[in-house]
Structure 1
Amino acid sequence: MSALDSGMSKTLHNGLQILELLVEHPHGLTLTEIAEGVGVHRTVAHRLVRTLEAHELCRRDRFKRISLGAGLVRLADPVEQDLRTLARPVLEELADLRQATAHLVVREDEDRARMLMVVEPRRARMHVAFRPGQVDPIGRGSAGLAMLAAAPPVPGEREEITVARRRGFAVSHGEIAAAITGVSAVVPGARTQTVIGLSLFEAPDVEELGALVVEAAHRLASLLH
């Protein structure tokens, strides 16, 4: 976290520190953990979190854990434009290589993933069509499963998540749309958790497809840094 100097607002600095702390802990923190992480009294942390909640920059789940809020999506829109610009040639190459629809998905919040970008193959006789902007539960579809697999194991998690963690990519069948297979991998080091992948009618060799999406995810990561 950045250091405070005499020309800065301490209150704003502490509020931004909370957001930075929550970026590092996508599954949320308690109010006490936030106070300790920022180095302020719990009462001060409570006021700061309430202010951030009012602007939808953070949110509390049913267990009172605090995580980043959907308001950050509006603030991040110009950044997402840059992400789309960098991702387009990677997605186009991936889509044309496999004659399948390539997708770029970002984490919306704790429970949802958002389809940020869809690139369709230019010469395929048939391909999967998705609407950019659609939001799906994070526990459904290869993109969300890849995001969950990037976190440490949790008791009772789906076997597909455990397998995805071992493989380095996630596979789903018919979870977002009937008869569609999805293969996705997380883009390493992206500021917002981001996934790149393919959606296909037929996937005879998921290991080959997995290697392709992992390579594409790493290529996008290199462009982002």
Structure 2
Amino acid sequence: MSKTLHNGLEILELLAAHPNGLSVSEIAECIGVHRTVAHRLIRTLEAHRLCRRDEYKRISLGAGLVTLSESVEQDLRTLARPILEDLADTVEATAHLVVRESDTTVRAMMVIEPRRSQVHIAFRPGQVHPVNRGSAGLAILSTLPPTADERPEVDRARRLGYAISAGEVVSTTIGISAGVPRRVGGAQAAVGVSVFDATDEARIGAAVAAAARSLGDLLH
């Protein structure tokens, strides 16, 4: 690997975890380089508008990342938005699109809040959590062949057509998700909702599964 590029990407990941910004010294300490090296890396990222420096000389992510992110799975997000909006309004709960980022993690790519619900759960896209925790990851795993070490919840999701988890990603929150049928070469993804109460699990699960199938049909 390129050590310089690796350090630069580490800075971006570090800043993503600290939205209020960090000083050059703090960045240098966190990624394990000399302050001079950190300063040089930051100046390069600034030149590409990937990070910025405020009046207090604290570094945070820059607007250039927005331009880069717009093309990431753009077709997937464009097709998913109306489906998620309809799902959120139907279930009156926050809907989300989650994609598998690596062998061990998934990331929330899109979050849509309901327009007519008085109370709902709110969170930002971009959150990362283990693929084997939370309904979205379990739903994605359920679209794959069974493995010897998979959780019983994955097999249950495979049989029901949707996965459910409680408090595994956010405490007091219940997630219900269904895997999106995979397109060739496409990202493994799941559509789901976050609710406070799952007494109506079957109805919500059916709505989530239908939304996932609709998105899958559009992607094929």
- Same fold, TM-score > 0.5, yes or no: yes
- From 142, 145, 149, give the equivalent of 2:135: 142
Letter in 2 for 1:215: A
Q: Which residue identity is paired with 1:101?
A: T
1:89 and 2:89 are equivalent in the alignment: no
Aligned-CA RMSD value: 2.3
Matched, 1:116 2:120: no
The alignment's TM-score, normalised by the length of structure 2, stands at: 0.66
Alignment partner of 1:154 out of 135, 147, 150: 147
How high is the TM-score relative to the length of structure 1?
A: 0.64
Q: Report whether the alignment pairs 1:205 with 2:200.
A: yes
Q: State the SS of the aligned residue for 2:71.
A: helix
- Deviation digits for residues 127-153 of structure 1, max 9, x if unmatched? 111110111111110000011112222
TM-superposition CA deviations, 1:8-62 (whole Å, max 9, x none): xxxxxxxxxxxxxxxxxxxxxxxxxxxxxxxxxxxxxxxxxx9xxx99xxxxxxx
Alpha-carbon distance in 2 for matches of 1:104, 1:114: 9
Distance 1:84 1:178 in 2: 27
Which residue of 2 is the match for residue 173 of structure 1?
Answer: 166
Number of aligned residue pairs: 156
Match status 1:223 vs 2:215: no
Identity of aligned residues (%): 55
Find the counterpart in structure 2 of residue 194 from structure 1.
189
Q: Is the 8 A contact 2:140 2:180 kept in 1?
A: no
**Kept in 1: contact 2:142–2:179 (CA 8 A):** no
Over 3 Å off, 4+ runs: none
Q: Any unmatched runs of 5+ in structure 1? A: 1-49, 56-74
Give 3-state SS (helix, strand or coil) of 2:182's partner.
Answer: coil
Match of 1:183 among 171, 176, 179: 176
Change (3 A) 1:76 1:166: farther
Residue type matched to 1:204 in 2? T
**Offset of 1:122 from its aligned partner?**
0.9
Code of the aligned partner of 2:165:
S
